[in-house]
Copies of this chain bind each other. A is one copy, B any other.
Amino acid sequence: MENKFLIKKSALRKVKTGKGVTIIQPSNLYECRLGNNCFVGPFTEIQKGVVIGDNCRIQSHSFICELVTIGNNCFIGHGVMFINDTFSDGKPSAGNQSKWKKTIIGNNVSVGSNATILPVNICDNVVIGAGAVVTKNINRKGVYAGNPAKRLPQKSK
């Protein structure tokens, strides 16, 4: 074996933002858009083509892949992983991006830490519990938790 390999460095590259945005390094953001007043924590990666609205927090250790769109006033907790490739042929699509799928997150959506989001649509005003694995579209506001994530009964106050 040899000992030569290519080393690249995480960077902020071609990131477009609105006003009042803070990004903590090290993080790896490229060719993505963040709205006004967003915060991005350390140890995050946000890939090409991702669009995030205003007043969002993307917390540390999160990964947001290509084909994800996030609305306004959203909170993405720590260690949240988004997914665009569901290995639908029993293996990664690799270069074949026609097999990747979109995720669209509405407004006022809060995703708990360590949650995993398969390629789905999530409507406005949804809470995803910490550690949840979201495998299906969510079309009704409420709180969803578990693996796979299910809607929790509403608490009376």
Measured CB to CB, the residues of A under 8 A from B are 1-10, 12, 15-19, 21-26, 28, 33-34, 41-43, 45, 57, 59-61, 63, 75, 77-79, 81, 83, 87, 90-92, 108, 110, 112-114, 116, 118, 125, 127, 129-133, 143, 146-148
Contact = CB atoms under 8 A, between A and B. Distances in A.
Contacts of A91: 75, 108, 110, 127
A85 B126 CA distance: 15
Q: How many copies does the complex hold?
A: 3
Contact of A9 (B24, B79, B90, B147): B24
Contacts of A130: 81, 83, 116, 118, 133
A141 to B, nearest CB: 8
Nearest to A25: B9
8 contacts: A1-B33, A2-B16, A7-B23, A43-B61, A81-B114, A87-B110, A116-B130, A132-B147
B45 A60 contact: yes
Contacts of A21: 5-6
Contacts of A133: 114, 129-131
Contact of A7 (B25, B34, B81): B25
A112 B63 CA distance: 13
Nearest to A82: B113
Contacts of A113: 63, 81, 83, 116
A131 B130 CA distance: 11
B92 A75 contact: yes
